[in-house]
C-alpha cells in the first residue's frame, strides 16, 4: 500500500478534507492497470465465447429492488456502542472473537453478544441491541420528494431487466451470455482493509442464460482437465485449511459443482488468475456453507486469493436458477420465459460468475510486489506485472537532456505512441533514479537514448526483472517490443 500510494497507483478519495472509509481513487498508473485488466477480461470471457456486453443505469427505482429481494434481504446486522456511538457489524465482532455465526438472525447475534460479554472494540463501552441495516444507498428520483430510488448494489439486475430485448434482437437462442462491467454501491457498515471492502466498487459480471433441461456447456471439454483446489464444506466445518485438488470434470462428478456450466467458468477463472500473476497455491475455490447460500441458489462457490489480510473473495460463482427472471416476471406482470425451437417455453436458468475488479487489483499488487533483486538494484521495490497488463509498456528516457538527446527521445516516444504502445517519457533526475521509478510502477522495458543513438540509430532496452540491457536498432524496436510483450519476456533473453 505504501508504494501504491507513493506512486499514485491508488489515491485516498477526498484526501484534501478527511478521507471517508470505503472509497479509493485510481491514479494514472492504477487506472491504466484497471483498464487493461477489464479489457483482458472482456477478451477472455466475452469476445472469445461470443457473449454480449451491455451497459445499464446506476439508479434503479424501488420496485426493481423489491422484486429482486434486495429491499428486504440485502443488509447486514449492525450494533452500536451506547457510550461512543460507533457502529459495527455484529457478526464481525463475534467472528473476531472466534465465534461462528454465519447466517444468524439479529436475535441470535444479540444473545451471543450478551453471552460472550462482547463490548465496544473502540472504547470498551456496552453495546446496544443488534439491528438490521440495508446496504443500499437511497436517493430520490425527480425533484423534491420524487420517487424512491437506489443506486445499484450489483450490476446483474440491469442485465435481467434487459434480458428479453437482448435475447430477441440477438438470435433468440439459448444459451446466451450477457455481461456488464461497471460500478456498484454498498453502504458498508464499517469498511476496513483498503480495497477489500469498498462502498463504491467495480464489478465484472456475466450472466449465462441456459435451458435448465440441458445444463451443459459447448466448450466444457476444453477445460475439463483443468485442475483447481477446493476448500470443501467438511474442511471448513472442521476448521482446517486443507484443500482437495480436483479437475473440473471431477468437481462435477462429485457434485461439488452444480453443473458443467459452472465448472467451465471455474476452469476459465483459474486460467485467467494464473495469467494475472497469482500463483496456483494462492488460489482456492470455497464451497459456500448452506447458511451462506441464498434459498433459491443451486450452488455458490467463491474463488479466493490468499493475501496478507487473509483469504479474499475475488469471484462469486452463483447458480441463480430462474429466481431473478421469475421474480421480475411476477412483479412486472410481463412473461420473461422464452420460446424454444421445438415450440415449448422455458424460463431460462442462470449461472453467474461475478468478479470484483478492485479486489483483483489488490491481489495483483500483492502477488506482483517484489523487493530487491540483483546486487546493483538493491533495495528498491517493484512490481512484476505480466508485460501485457503492465500499466505502461515502455518508458523512453534520454540519457541527458542536452545535445539533442531529449528531442530525439520525445520523437521516439511519440512514434511508439502512434504505433499503439502505452509509453511514458521521463527526463527528470539521474538515469538510475528513473529506472527505479519505472520499476516501482512495473514498466517492463526502459528505452534509453544516448550518444550512440544519434550516431548509429540504436537504443538500449533495459529489462525490468533482471536490470540487464541489450542494444537494438530503432527501426527494429516496434517489432522487438511486440514480441517481448507477446512472449512476456521480462529478462534479457
Q: Which residues bind Zn ion (CB under 5 A)?
A: 81, 83-84, 120, 122-123, 125
The minimum distance between CB 202 and Zn ion, in angstroms, equals 33
Q: How many CB atoms lie within 10 A of CB 343?
A: 6
**Nearest-CA neighbor of 213 among 249, 159, 175?**
175
Q: What is the DSSP letter of 121?
A: T
The minimum distance between CB 111 and Zn ion, in angstroms, equals 21
**Residue 260 and residue 219: Cα distance in Å, rounded?**
10
The minimum distance between CB 93 and Zn ion, in angstroms, equals 12
**Residue 357 and residue 343: Cα distance in Å, rounded?**
41
**Residue 447 and residue 398: Cα distance in Å, rounded?**
8
**Nearest-CA neighbor of 135 among 88, 185, 186?**
186
Judged by CB, which is closer to Zn ion: 57, or 123?
A: 123
Residue 179, all three cell numbers? 455481461
Judged by CB, which is closer to Zn ion: 55, or 122?
A: 122
**Residue 271 and residue 19: Cα distance in Å, rounded?**
37
Cα dihedral 306, 308, 312, 314 sign: negative
The minimum distance between CB 122 and Zn ion, in angstroms, equals 4
Residue 59, all three cell numbers? 439508479
The minimum distance between CB 133 and Zn ion, in angstroms, equals 17
Judged by CB, which is closer to Zn ion: 122, or 335?
A: 122
Judged by CB, which is closer to Zn ion: 127, or 252?
A: 127
The minimum distance between CB 87 and Zn ion, in angstroms, equals 10
Residue 342, all three cell numbers? 421445438
**Residue 127 and residue 193: Cα distance in Å, rounded?**
23
Place of cell 469498498: 198
The minimum distance between CB 190 and Zn ion, in angstroms, equals 12
Collapsed DSSP state (helix, strand, coil) of residue 224:
coil
The minimum distance between CB 196 and Zn ion, in angstroms, equals 24
Judged by CB, which is closer to Zn ion: 123, or 274?
A: 123
**Residue 440 and residue 213: Cα distance in Å, rounded?**
52
**Residue 364 and residue 291: Cα distance in Å, rounded?**
30
Cα dihedral 343, 347, 349, 354 sign: positive
Judged by CB, which is closer to Zn ion: 109, or 477?
A: 109
**Nearest-CA neighbor of 399 among 468, 460, 472?**
460
Collapsed DSSP state (helix, strand, coil) of residue 461:
strand
The minimum distance between CB 117 and Zn ion, in angstroms, equals 15
The minimum distance between CB 81 and Zn ion, in angstroms, equals 3
Q: What is the DSSP letter of 127?
A: B
Residue pair 101/109 in contact by the 8 Å Cβ criterion: yes
**Residue 202 and residue 88: Cα distance in Å, rounded?**
24
Judged by CB, which is closer to Zn ion: 77, or 298?
A: 77
Judged by CB, which is closer to Zn ion: 81, or 251?
A: 81
Judged on CB neighbours under 10 Å (0-12, 13-18, 19+), 39 is middle
Judged by CB, which is closer to Zn ion: 130, or 424?
A: 130
Judged by CB, which is closer to Zn ion: 1, or 84?
A: 84
The minimum distance between CB 123 and Zn ion, in angstroms, equals 3
The minimum distance between CB 120 and Zn ion, in angstroms, equals 3
Name every residue whose Cβ is closer than 8 Å to that of residue 218 and which is 6 or more positions away in sequence.
175
**Residue 370 and residue 378: Cα distance in Å, rounded?**
11
Judged by CB, which is closer to Zn ion: 125, or 128?
A: 125
Place of cell 527501426: 475
Judged by CB, which is closer to Zn ion: 64, or 79?
A: 79
Residue pair 382/439 in contact by the 8 Å Cβ criterion: yes
Amino acid at each position: 500500500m505504501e508504494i501504491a500510494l507513493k506512486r499514485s497507483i491508488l489515491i485516498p478519495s477526498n484526501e484534501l478534507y478527511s478521507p471517508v472509509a470505503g472509497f479509493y481513487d485510481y491514479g494514472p498508473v492504477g487506472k491504466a492497470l484497471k483498464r487493461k485488466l477489464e479489457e483482458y477480461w472482456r477478451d477472455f470471457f466475452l469476445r472469445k465465447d461470443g457473449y454480449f456486453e451491455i451497459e445499464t443505469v446506476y439508479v434503479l427505482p424501488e420496485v426493481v429492488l423489491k422484486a429482486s429481494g434486495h429491499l428486504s434481504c440485502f443488509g447486514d446486522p449492525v450494533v452500536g456502542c451506547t457510550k461512543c456511538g460507533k457502529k459495527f457489524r455484529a457478526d464481525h465482532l463475534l467472528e473476531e472473537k472466534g465465534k461462528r455465526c454465519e447466517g444468524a438472525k439479529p436475535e441470535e447475534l444479540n444473545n451471543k453478544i450478551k453471552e460472550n460479554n462482547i463490548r465496544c472494540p473502540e472504547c470498551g463501552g456496552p453495546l446496544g441491541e443488534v439491528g438490521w441495516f440495508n446496504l443500499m444507498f437511497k436517493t430520490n428520483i425527480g425533484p423534491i420528494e420524487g420517487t424512491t430510488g437506489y443506486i445499484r448494489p450489483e450490476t446483474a439486475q440491469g442485465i435481467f431487466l434487459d434480458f428479453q430485448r437482448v435475447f430477441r434482437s440477438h438470435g433468440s437462442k439459448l444459451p446466451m451470455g450477457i455481461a456488464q462491467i461497471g460500478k456498484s454501491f454498498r453502504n458498508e457498515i464499517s469498511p476496513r482493509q483498503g480495497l477489500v471492502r469498498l462502498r463504491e466498487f467495480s464489478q465484472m459480471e456475466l450472466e449465462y442464460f441456459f435451458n435448465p433441461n440441458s445444463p451443459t456447456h459447448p466448450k466444457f471439454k476444453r477445460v475439463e482437465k483443468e485442475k483447481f483446489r477446493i476448500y470443501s464444506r467438511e474442511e471448513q466445518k472442521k476448521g482446517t485449511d486443507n484443500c482437495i485438488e480436483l479437475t473440473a470434470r471431477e468437481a462435477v462428478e462429485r457434485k461439488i459443482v452444480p453443473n458443467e456450466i459452472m465448472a467451465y467458468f471455474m476452469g476459465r477463472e483459474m486460467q485467467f488468475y494464473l495469467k494475472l500473476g497469482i500463483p496456483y497455491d494462492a488460489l482456492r475455490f470455497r464451497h459456500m456453507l448452506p447458511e451462506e447460500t441464498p434459498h433459491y441458489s443451486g450452488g455458490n462457490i467463491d474463488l479466493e486469493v490468499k493475501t496478507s489480510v487473509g483469504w479474499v473473495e475475488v469471484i462469486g460463482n452463483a447458480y441463480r436458477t430462474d429466481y431473478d427472471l421469475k421474480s421480475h416476471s411476477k412483479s412486472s406482470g410481463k412473461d420473461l420465459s422464452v420460446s424454444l425451437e421445438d415450440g415449448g417455453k422455458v424460463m431460462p436458468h442462470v449461472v453467474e460468475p461475478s468478479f470484483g475488479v478492485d479486489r483483483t487489483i489488490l491481489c495483483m499488487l500483492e502477488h506482483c510486489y517484489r523487493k530487491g533483486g540483483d546486487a546493483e538494484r538493491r533495495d528498491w521495490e517493484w512490481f512484476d506485472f505480466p508485460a501485457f497488463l503492465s500499466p505502461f509498456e515502455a518508458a523512453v528516457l534520454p540519457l541527458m537532456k542536452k545535445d539533442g538527446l531529449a528531442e530525439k527521445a520525445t520523437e521516439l516516444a511519440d512514434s511508439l505512441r502512434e504505433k499503439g504502445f502505452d509509453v511514458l517519457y521521463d527526463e527528470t533526475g539521474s538515469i538510475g533514479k528513473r529506472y527505479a521509478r519505472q520499476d516501482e510502477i512495473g514498466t517492463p522495458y526502459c528505452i534509453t537514448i544516448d550518444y550512440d543513438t544519434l550516431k548509429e540509430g540504436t537504443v538500449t532496452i533495459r529489462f525490468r526483472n533482471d536490470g540487464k540491457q541489450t542494444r537494438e536498432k530503432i527501426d527494429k524496436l516496434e517489432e522487438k517490443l511486440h514480441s517481448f510483450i507477446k512472449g512476456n519476456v521480462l529478462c534479457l533473453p
